Amino acid sequence: MTRFTKLAGAVSGLAIMLGATWAQAEVLFWSTQARPVEEAQAMRDNVLKGFEGGVDYQPNEDGPWLTRLQAELEAGSGSIGVLGGLHGSFSAMNPDDLVDLDDLGVVSSSETYNTLAKLGTDHLQYVPWMQASYIMAANKQALQYLPAGADINALSYDQLIEWTANVEAATGEKKFGFPAGEKGLKHRFFQGYLYPSYTNGVVRTFASDEAVVAWEKFRELWSHTNPASTNFANMQEQLLNGDAWIVFDHTSRLAQAFNERPDDFVAFPAPAGPKGRGFMPVLVGMAIPRTAPDLDAAKALVSYMLKPETQIATLKATNFFPVVNVELPADVPPAVKAAGDAVAIMSASPDANPGLLPAGLGDKGGDFSRVYVDTFERIILAGQDIRSVLDDQKAVLAKIMQDSGAPCWAPDAPSEGACPVE
């Protein structure tokens, strides 16, 4: 037993030595964003170092993030100082659990965002922190197969389908990549891109005849899509390893491809349908839970994060764009440059049809997205009849809207009370 005892002794000695070196009293920044190791490290080293008093930046998966927060709220005391999360994460919370932030005097430069951040109350529940969007990206090898006369910065869905078909004809491989994996953000494509582009709505027009056309088109696109897409979640990986040449994804989930091989890829706007070029922002915010141990330090950290220089540092660290007006420096990473240009062209295009994030769904946000994912799986993966699937799912969606009482958001026409599914 001696060797084992020795080993145990050595191990526990090492452990005690390592465990003893802990600093305390920093503000705990509990975030679901900037989770990839490199981004988390950049947040600590380049963004948060400048904050007096120190910040302990801890990114987490959504599950532990929420569970921990709920536990602290229920126990009535906690260690989380500042929360970082998507608009959807905050809108699922009880606004009473978040400290009102009106007196901070810092807000984003977008009135729309500031209104969203009130979560339906009269006070600011979270402060917009950074934003992003979804765009398209392609390997430059694919450009030669663009349909004749197509402008990559003003593609239509028909041209995109033709393009992917050309690539398949030329290479013998399906090279369109779609983040349809378990962790992929496919539902945002349907909610913010496909539906607005074809039906000028998301909820009202869910089962309309235009929606049937939209799904037919997507089915066509899917026939040229890499079938392994049901495993894809970060399209930068498939861009880099060549499994996909043309992809759709979140800007920060494409960033690594542009940063590693900036000369090999192009970023461009999402395609347009009959009802315009639908696209959707991603909004990330910061909030302070009512159990924050040091309210003043937490508020100071939120203010610090909205300073122009911090916002630029955040942009470089995470590839998420500022929410306040800042002058972008010349030395931004290639991914930021590429994505920034694509988003700018997208929002400035004459047929732009910007949508808003789903709002007012409360804790039904997950169920809402589930409807679109289920519809996708039934129509595209299981090959069921489009009309009957939409009629089925319509009832589910209508119930979610009824239960949450959420009014319509753009591009759906405004509603009195809960947004109806027509």
Partner 1 sequence: MTPVTTAAPRAATKAPARRVYAASVLLLSVWVLGPIYLLFVNTLSSPEAVNSFPKSFIPQFDLGSLAFFAKFDGMLAALGNSVIVAAMTMVMSIAIGAPAGYALSRFEFRGKELFRLLILLTRAFPLPLLALPLAVLFIRTGLDDTTFGLALVHTTLAIPFAVLITFSLFSGIPIELEEAAWTLGCTRLTAFTKVVLPLILPGITASAIFAFVISWNEVFAAAVLTIENRTLTAFLLQKLGDAPIHLKFAGGFILVTPALIFIFAVRKYLFAMWGIANR
- Name the site residues for partner 1 (rule: CB under 8 A): 1, 3-4, 7-8, 11-12, 14-19, 21-22, 24, 28, 35-38, 40-41, 44, 56, 58-61, 63-64, 67-68, 70-72, 74-75, 77-79, 183, 234, 236-237, 240-242, 256, 260
Minimum distance from CB of 130 to partner 1 (Å)? 16
Minimum distance from CB of 312 to partner 1 (Å)? 22
C-beta closer to partner 1: residue 335 or 379: 335
Minimum distance from CB of 236 to partner 1 (Å)? 7
In total, the chain counts a number of residues equal to 422
Minimum distance from CB of 28 to partner 1 (Å)? 6
**Listed residue (276, 273, 282) closest to 188, CA to CA:** 282
C-beta closer to partner 1: residue 215 or 258: 258
C-beta closer to partner 1: residue 46 or 223: 46
Minimum distance from CB of 77 to partner 1 (Å)? 6
Do the beta carbons of residue 63 and residue 37 sit within 8 Å? Answer: no
Tell me the C-alpha to C-alpha distance, in Å, between residue 150 and each of 88, 154, 341. Answer: 36, 8, 19
Do the beta carbons of residue 342 and residue 136 sit within 8 Å? Answer: yes
C-beta closer to partner 1: residue 40 or 160: 40
Minimum distance from CB of 74 to partner 1 (Å)? 5
**Listed residue (64, 65, 67) closest to 29, CA to CA:** 65
C-beta closer to partner 1: residue 227 or 329: 227
Minimum distance from CB of 39 to partner 1 (Å)? 8
C-beta closer to partner 1: residue 79 or 402: 79
- For Cα atoms 193, 194, 199, give the angle at the middle one, nearest 5 degrees: 110
The alpha carbons of the chain give a radius of gyration, in whole angstroms, of 23
Minimum distance from CB of 154 to partner 1 (Å)? 31
C-beta closer to partner 1: residue 7 or 328: 7
Could you give the angle at which helices 295-305 and 308-318 cross, rounded to 10 degrees?
80
- For Cα atoms 273, 277, 282, give the angle at the middle one, nearest 5 degrees: 130
**Listed residue (131, 198, 136) closest to 357, CA to CA:** 131
Minimum distance from CB of 35 to partner 1 (Å)? 5
Tell me the C-alpha to C-alpha distance, in Å, between residue 420 and each of 173, 268, 358. Answer: 42, 34, 14
> Is the sign of the CA dihedral 221, 224, 230, 235 positive or negative?
negative
C-beta closer to partner 1: residue 181 or 420: 181
C-beta closer to partner 1: residue 31 or 159: 31
**Listed residue (226, 237, 233, 228) closest to 261, CA to CA:** 237
C-beta closer to partner 1: residue 41 or 325: 41
Minimum distance from CB of 59 to partner 1 (Å)? 6
